[in-house]
Amino acid sequence: MPSPHAYVTLVTNADYAMGATALVRSLRLTKTTADIVILHTGGVELLALQALRDLDCRLVAVDHLPLSDAFNERHARKTLHAAAPFTKGRKPEFHSPLDNFCKLRLWELTEYESCVFLDADTVVLRNIDRLFAYPEFSAAPNVYETLADFHRMNSGVFVARPSADTFRRMLERLDQLDMFWKRTDQTFLETFFPDWHGLPIYFNMLQYVWFTMPDLWDWKSISVLHYQYEKPWEPNHPKAAKLRPLIDLWHAFYAGHDVPDIAAMANPEEAA
């Protein structure tokens, strides 16, 4: 019988196919009964998706949104990074801001009652199926440097209810004259859902918290680990020394090796 719920991620290139493979393996270990849906764009070769097929995911091909040329020019990588540079961490070369808006295709998956979106650079550490009962739009704050970050939302994990009407209204709001979404889908969703429901940060724990706010890090509580900025599979990772336990954990998921007991792992102060 088809599930009324789905975990959804977005794959736009071979690198994110690697990320999604680790994510899906982590989800399978939680014994979830929900579907796992991979939205993938034309930038992904079929061979790169094979591991996801083998993991019994539902693959859904999606196009970029029907946006104006002017909108696309404003949000192209070079233009966006010049207007709103990333100063806290390094975005990988394969990152393309326009791809981010394809997340909104989730609202077209109307065969599901509710969906939990997870960025392809996340892994799930314990069962989070209860999130399907949370209201739209639920997301965690963008906390990774200071407590002042609590007022901003991070769109790497969110709960949504697919709806053709919502998707239509999103397109109408998204591409208005001279509109510039500084952090692409994240800024848009925060604006579209101004009364978004705040999830605990443990449903979207950003990796920089490991070294910027170690007092907030508690392996026994973290449900979703999000590798924002630098990715754990990058060979020239500039923060690899600082993030080594987190990188090693990702590789265990990706390779399908035995994953350590998360609750028994050392917190930052203990691992130092």
Could you tell me the pLDDT band of residue 84, with boundaries at 50, 70 and 90?
low
CA 83, 88, 90: angle at the middle one, nearest 5? 80
pLDDT reported for residue 19: 98
What 8-state DSSP symbol labels residue 208?
A: T
Helix axes 164-174, 185-192, angle to 10 degrees: 110
Q: Where are the alpha helices (DSSP H) in 175-218?
A: 185-192, 209-212
Lowest mean pLDDT among 1-10, 80-89, 193-202, 217-226: 80-89
pLDDT reported for residue 46: 87
pLDDT reported for residue 32: 98
Distance CA 8, CA 147 (A): 29
CA distances to 24, 40, 127 from 32, rounded to whole Å, are: 11, 22, 7
pLDDT reported for residue 186: 93
pLDDT reported for residue 82: 59
Structure tokens at 251: 């590789």
Domains and CATH numbers, the chain: 5-271 (3.90.550.10)
Per residue in 214-246, pLDDT (tens digit) is 999 999 999 999 999 999 999 999 999 999 999
Give the residue, 149 or 183, on which the prediction is more confident.
Answer: 149
